[in-house]
């Protein structure tokens, strides 16, 4: 064998050995990152229903119709779907939503997708659960605009086609069209709005479900401290936190108004500038960001969070990696949410 051939063979063997060692080390790193992620995050459950708030087919079907139907609100032109549009991943893309009679909501409308995973509802956390949120909204000046629940139920009763779906959903009740049952029905539908994402596949063991850049972003997300608040199944939504731990948030966001957070609800000085930590699922699809919609892009939102929460100026490369990870939280829209249902008969009784 010629010397050159022997040398070439040796070089090839060495290269293969180096590649094998490198691949093994990468595999070990991937396994370690997965184990770390599985300790901090959980994949989506099969359902967000509970024993107290079951997602029975009849309730879900009724709730879906009510969710998309504007006819029972004050002027008949605003529905739940107005602020939570399927094409915009359950948001309306506005800094602050517009409700009945063109009233501006005080805060940005978060996505309704996966919302049942959160421990409370609203930026203030002033709604116990999805059902409470719906029931309170029935008499909200920004949503339904009705002064009392009876006005809402009267409008629904006037739409003849709702009688049968309510009887099916609440078969043990003589008069099923109530504000409580409206909340339970819409809540049941919203509890079905789960969006499984590549990150869920990753958490179940498929390390290649995330791109190398997204895996790097996940590592950054953990080591930089983002996961100290944004953890669990929702990647957030499980705690309250002050917005502006290191510095006043409005200096970084350019917010035109200073929202005092839960203080406005509790009047407790400890709640000044405290908000519910939002879920980051589908964050790439739901700009603008923060409670006041003051930041337009996800890159800028990550930059702001590094600055006001962590006291860090994150390099552009790290921001790009974290944004790539957040993109892997974008899930598949439920079929029942992609399009609106056929609504009950529009035959309306006179006199209301």
83 is in an annotated binding site: yes
Contact status, residue 304 vs residue 252, Cβ threshold 8 Å: yes
CATH topology of domain 57-194+334-338: Cytochrome Bc1 Complex; Chain D, domain 2 (1.10.760)
Strands of the chain, DSSP E? 240-242, 274-276
Q: What does the pLDDT look like over 83-135, one tens digit per residue?
A: 999 999 999 999 998 877 778 889 999 999 999 999 999 999 999 999 999 99
Q: Note the pLDDT of residue 248.
A: 98
Main-chain phi, psi angles of 310, to 5 degrees? -110, -10
Greater confidence (189 vs 6) lies with 189
80 is in an annotated binding site: yes
48 is in an annotated binding site: no
Alpha-carbon dihedral angle through residues 182, 185, 188, 192, given to the nearest 10 degrees: -110
Task: Name the percent of the chain lying above pLDDT 90.
Answer: 80
Q: What does the pLDDT look like over 266-322, one tens digit per residue?
A: 999 999 999 999 999 999 999 999 999 999 999 999 999 999 999 999 999 999 999
Mean pLDDT of 199-213: 97
* Angle subtended at Cα 333 by Cα 128 and Cα 338, rounded to the nearest 5 degrees: 100
pLDDT greater than 60 at residue 348: no
Q: What does the pLDDT look like over 233-281, one tens digit per residue?
A: 999 999 999 999 999 999 999 999 999 999 999 999 999 999 999 999 9
Nearest to 315 by CA among 328, 302, 297: 302
Nearest to 138 by CA among 162, 156, 158, 123: 156
Q: Note the pLDDT of residue 101.
A: 73
Q: Note the pLDDT of residue 25.
A: 45
Q: Note the pLDDT of residue 143.
A: 59
pLDDT greater than 60 at residue 332: yes
Q: Note the pLDDT of residue 311.
A: 96
Residues 6+ apart with CB under 8 A from 206: none
Confidence of residue 22 (pLDDT cuts 50, 70, 90): very low
DSSP, collapsed to helix, strand or coil, labels residue 348 as: strand
Residue 278 is given by DSSP the state: P
Nearest to 305 by CA among 206, 213, 230, 200: 230
Please, what is the end-to-end C-alpha distance for the chain in angstroms? 100
Q: Note the pLDDT of residue 56.
A: 98
Q: Note the pLDDT of residue 76.
A: 83
CA 236 to chain centre: 9
305 is in an annotated binding site: yes
Nearest to 325 by CA among 289, 284, 292, 285: 284
Q: What does the pLDDT look like over 152-166, one tens digit per residue?
A: 899 999 999 999 999
DSSP, collapsed to helix, strand or coil, labels residue 239 as: coil
pLDDT greater than 80 at residue 350: no
- Dist CA 28 CA 12 (whole Å): 24
Confidence of residue 3 (pLDDT cuts 50, 70, 90): low
105 is in an annotated binding site: no
- Dist CA 132 CA 141 (whole Å): 16
Q: Note the pLDDT of residue 103.
A: 81
Task: Name the percent of the chain lying above pLDDT 70.
Answer: 89
Tokens of 333: 């829209």
Give me the chain's average pLDDT, please.
Answer: 91
Tokens of 23: 């691949």
Main-chain phi, psi angles of 176, to 5 degrees? -80, -15
Contact status, residue 114 vs residue 44, Cβ threshold 8 Å: yes
Helices (H), 195-315: 198-203, 212-223, 249-253, 263-266, 298-308
- Residue intervals in the chain for CATH 1.10.760.10: 57-194+334-338, 196-327
DSSP, collapsed to helix, strand or coil, labels residue 289 as: strand
- Dist CA 176 CA 282 (whole Å): 35
Is the Cα torsion angle 85, 163, 141, 268 positive or negative in sign?
negative
Residues in the chain, how many? 352
Superfamily of domain 196-327: Cytochrome c-like domain (1.10.760.10)
102 is in an annotated binding site: no
Mean pLDDT of 170-197: 97
Contact status, residue 283 vs residue 326, Cβ threshold 8 Å: yes
Helices (H), 74-197: 80-83, 130-137, 149-157, 163-169, 179-190
Q: Note the pLDDT of residue 258.
A: 97
């Amino acid at each position: 064998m010629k010397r050159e051939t022997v040398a070439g063979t040796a070089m090839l063997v060495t290269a293969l050995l180096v590649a094998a060692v490198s691949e093994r080390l990468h595999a070990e790193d991937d396994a370690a990152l997965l184990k770390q992620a599985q300790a901090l995050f959980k994949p989506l459950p099969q359902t967000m229903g509970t024993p107290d708030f079951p997602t029975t087919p009849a309730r879900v079907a009724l709730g879906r119709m009510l969710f998309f139907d504007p006819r029972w609100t004050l002027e008949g032109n605003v529905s739940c779907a107005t602020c939570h549009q399927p094409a915009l991943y359950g948001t309306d893309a506005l800094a602050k939503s517009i409700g009945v009679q063109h009233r501006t909501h005080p805060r940005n409308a978060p996505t309704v997708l996966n919302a049942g995973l959160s421990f409370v509802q609203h930026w203030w956390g002033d709604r116990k659960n999805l059902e409470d949120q719906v029931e309170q909204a029935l008499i909200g000046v920004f949503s339904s605009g009705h002064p009392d629940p009876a006005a809402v139920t009267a409008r629904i009763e006037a739409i003849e086609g709702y009688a049968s779906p309510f009887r099916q959903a609440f078969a043990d009740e003589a008069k099923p069209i109530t504000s409580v049952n409206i909340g339970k029905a819409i809540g049941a539908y919203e509890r079905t709005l789960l969006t499984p994402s590549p990150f869920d596949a990753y958490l179940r063991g498929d390390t290649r479900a995330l791109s190398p850049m997204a895996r790097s972003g996940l590592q950054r997300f953990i080591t930089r401290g983002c996961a100290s608040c944004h953890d669990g199944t929702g990647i957030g939504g499980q705690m309250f936190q002050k917005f502006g731990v290191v510095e006043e948030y409005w200096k970084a966001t350019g917010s035109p108004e200073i929202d005092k957070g839960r203080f406005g609800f509790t009047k407790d000085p400890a709640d000044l500038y405290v908000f519910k930590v939002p879920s980051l699922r589908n964050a790439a699809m739901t700009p603008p960001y923060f409670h006041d919609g003051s930041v337009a892009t996800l890159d800028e939102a990550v930059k702001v969070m590094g600055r006001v929460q962590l006291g860090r100026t994150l390099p552009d490369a790290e921001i790009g990696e974290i944004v790539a990870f957040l993109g892997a939280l974008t899930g598949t829209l439920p079929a029942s949410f992609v399009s609106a249902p056929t609504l009950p008969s529009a035959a309306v009784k006179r006199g209301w």
